[in-house]
Structure 1
Amino acid sequence: MTTSPPPGAARVLVVEDDAPTRAYVTRALQRAGYTVASEAAAAPALATLDEAPWSALLVDIGLPGASGFDLVREARRRRPEVPIALMTADASVEVAVRALRSEVDDFLTKPISPEDLVAQVGRLVALRRTRTTTPVERVLAIGAHPDDVEIGVGGVLAGHQDAGDDITLLTLSHGQRGGDRAARAAEAERAAALLGATLRLGDLEDTLIPESGPTLDLIEATVADVDPTIVYTHTVNDLHQDHRNVHRASMVAARGVPSVYCYESPSATVDFRPVRFMPIDRMVERKLALIAAYDSQAAVRSYLAPDLVRATSRYWGRYGSRDVDHCEPLEVVRERPAGSRAGDALLTTTPQQETSDATA
């Protein structure tokens, strides 16, 4: 069970089948300020490992079913950047040699004092920081209403979170036509917290967001403050006039941003023409959690039903690579050349075809 993390807290995953030991390790690390999740076996541990970014992984050797060594092997394959320490009460040379051969980063002998445990985990966390070899991106995701960006790029944003990128969400209205403004603002805050993102919540009038004036001012001010390297915003190929107007304002405000992408919403038209299909297999559950934060909407909007969200990403997954099941589609307005983190192929311009005005 994962505790609610304070912003920026180092996250440690503890895998230990002995309940008293698991509680002891968890409590010692929490008292030191770490955010801790704990599991008792390899299978649930791997599922938890996939759900969030981690600063360190502590694994007991003697797990039921798959051993700690088996878990280390699979964890190293899935998340090579996460430092791993094996825990055991058997301090024999044979076990130590096997631990080293499994390419773990540290070896913890039980019993261990809280002070020594915290010190060793601190070294693992420091090692994790040295493994961030790619530059941090500054990501700005723009939406007209609360839940727009989570629907469009919730999985992609979870990937940015895992990469340690700085994420800012700019939502231009409280979405008051869709529910109580205070409730929707609180829901937006909850979703942003799940992403470790900064939320900027505007107060433009829902369904009457203009393409210039205050809309442009808000986006330009945010771009100036955040200095994003990547922007995600609405497509112009959308039936909702707020979405189209936010797109147009974004194109002006983000004219100096290196990479700009447009995401799909439930009101996108058949003219939506994605050319990037971002794999989100590991992020689907986290995307669903982001959308579930908007419980006032999830209960009344059929397009927020988990099975439909899954089906949509599964549909777009057919355009991804062979081993990918779920994708989020993006139109490319502009992106950096091959080899950069924002994209892996051509500098592409996606045709932008205007649609006629529609009511909300």
Structure 2
Amino acid sequence: MSNSSKTALVISAHSADFVWRAGGAIALYASRGYAVSVVCLSFGERGESAKLWRQAGMTLDQVKTARRDEAEKAAEILGAKLRCFDLGDYPLRVPDETIMELADLYREIAPEFVLTHSLDDPYNFDHSLASRVAQEARIIAQAHGHRPELTPVLGAPPIFLFEPHQPEQCHWHPNTLLDISPVWDKKRAAFETMAAQEHLWEYYTRVALQRGVQASRNSNLKIRYAEGYQRLFPQVTEELA
């Protein structure tokens, strides 16, 4: 069945976050015909590019260019449309103008669901800020008084918080496990565009395998690879099974 009119939105603090944490969901829904938009608020040029900074003569602009190139290649592999802001990291600062722009993007694409960071992350304030921004922009897009001349007011797309690097420290509890086995090869290929963070390739492979085991134990399915998500709002349904 074609889902060519359906959309999804991913809001990522840095240029690699969407790959490690949500690359499977992006590839899976893109394969189902969804138009998946990924927003990167920064390139992760200061705090998440140590390998690049170890090269002699490296400059900030060169790091940004390299990280943008990686993100563009990864998004192409996963089947997503990438939009990069350049808001800095360590620290990331998001002006009101950007929040309003994101609210307009919500209105424009009317996503079926949104993926973003955990609410808390004591190791990376940029991540929790990106989560807050994703939520605030959604709320603004739901307001009847915001840009009434734009497309219709946003409904209530569910928000799923993807897995942080150290979930136990981030008060993050997975209550949704998504089988990404059919698109694992795409996610792994997207990993491998992220040369600046090669040390994470095997780590997030192990995470996917672990979530796959948990997904199998919580279902009647044989699942090899999975991603964990925390649903932010209650699920509204007419059926419990």
Bin of the TM-score, shorter chain as denominator length: 0.7 to 0.9
Amino acid aligned to 1:154: G
Asked if the contact 2:180/2:227 (under 8 Å) is kept, the reply is: yes
Q: Is 2:19 the counterpart of 1:150?
A: yes
Q: Is 2:229 the counterpart of 1:310?
A: no
Q: Is 2:136 the counterpart of 1:252?
A: yes
Q: Is 2:77 the counterpart of 1:208?
A: no
Higher normalized contact order (CA 8 Å, seq sep 6+, divided by chain length): 2
Amino acid aligned to 1:309: Y
Asked if the contact 1:258/1:334 (under 8 Å) is kept, the reply is: no
Q: 1:141 aligned to 10, 14, 35, which one?
A: 10
Measure the CA separation in 1 of the matches of 2:209 and 2:240: 23
Distance 1:345-1:238 versus aligned 2 partners, 3 A rule: farther
Distance 1:149-1:319 versus aligned 2 partners, 3 A rule: same
Asked if the contact 2:118/2:170 (under 8 Å) is kept, the reply is: no
- Residue-by-residue CA offset, 1:208-236 (whole Å, 9 max, x unaligned): 22366355234323223322221101111
Instruction: Select between 173-182 and 152-161 the one with higher mean Cα deviation.
Output: 173-182
- Residue-by-residue CA offset, 1:16-70 (whole Å, 9 max, x unaligned): xxxxxxxxxxxxxxxxxxxxxxxxxxxxxxxxxxxxxxxxxxxxxxxxxxxxxxx
Distance 1:136-1:338 versus aligned 2 partners, 3 A rule: farther
Give the SS at the match of 1:181.
helix
Give the SS at the match of 2:232.
strand
Asked if the contact 1:279/1:324 (under 8 Å) is kept, the reply is: yes
Amino acid aligned to 2:163: E
Percent identity (aligned): 24
Partner of 1:174: 43
Distance 1:189-1:324 versus aligned 2 partners, 3 A rule: same
Measure the CA separation in 1 of the matches of 2:5 and 2:190: 23
Larger radius of gyration: 1
Partner of 1:273: 173
- Residue-by-residue CA offset, 1:290-324 (whole Å, 9 max, x unaligned): 111112222xxx2x223x22211121223312422
Measure the CA separation in 2 of the matches of 1:223 and 1:297: 30
Structure 1: where are the runs of 5+ without partners?
1-130, 347-360
- Residue-by-residue CA offset, 1:224-253 (whole Å, 9 max, x unaligned): 332222110111132310001111111111
Give the SS at the match of 1:203.
coil
Asked if the contact 1:260/1:335 (under 8 Å) is kept, the reply is: no
Distance 1:252-1:315 versus aligned 2 partners, 3 A rule: same
Q: Is 2:29 the counterpart of 1:160?
A: yes
How many aligned residue pairs are there? 206
Measure the CA separation in 1 of the matches of 2:75 and 2:134: 20
How many Å apart are 1:336 and its aligned residue?
5.6
Higher strand share: 1
Measure the CA separation in 1 of the matches of 2:191 and 2:121: 20
Distance 1:270-1:296 versus aligned 2 partners, 3 A rule: closer
Partner of 1:60: none
Give the SS at the match of 1:232.
strand
Give the SS at the match of 2:10.
strand
Partner of 2:150: none
Amino acid aligned to 2:185: E
Partner of 2:195: 295
Partner of 1:183: 66
Asked if the contact 1:202/1:218 (under 8 Å) is kept, the reply is: no
Structure 2: where are the runs of 5+ without partners?
53-62, 143-155
Distance 1:173-1:345 versus aligned 2 partners, 3 A rule: farther
Normalized against structure 1, the TM-score is what?
Answer: 0.53
Measure the CA separation in 2 of the matches of 1:285 and 1:200: 24
Asked if the contact 1:146/1:188 (under 8 Å) is kept, the reply is: yes
Measure the CA separation in 1 of the matches of 2:70 and 2:186: 15
Asked if the contact 1:212/1:249 (under 8 Å) is kept, the reply is: no
- Residue-by-residue CA offset, 1:260-293 (whole Å, 9 max, x unaligned): 1110132442521110000111222211111111
Partner of 2:232: 333
Alignment of 1:340-355 (within 5 A): none
Amino acid aligned to 1:265: P
Distance 1:151-1:258 versus aligned 2 partners, 3 A rule: same
Asked if the contact 2:180/2:226 (under 8 Å) is kept, the reply is: yes
How many Å apart are 1:197 and its aligned residue?
1.6
Give the SS at the match of 1:319.
helix
Amino acid aligned to 1:312: V
Distance 1:314-1:135 versus aligned 2 partners, 3 A rule: same
How many Å apart are 1:345 and its aligned residue?
6.0
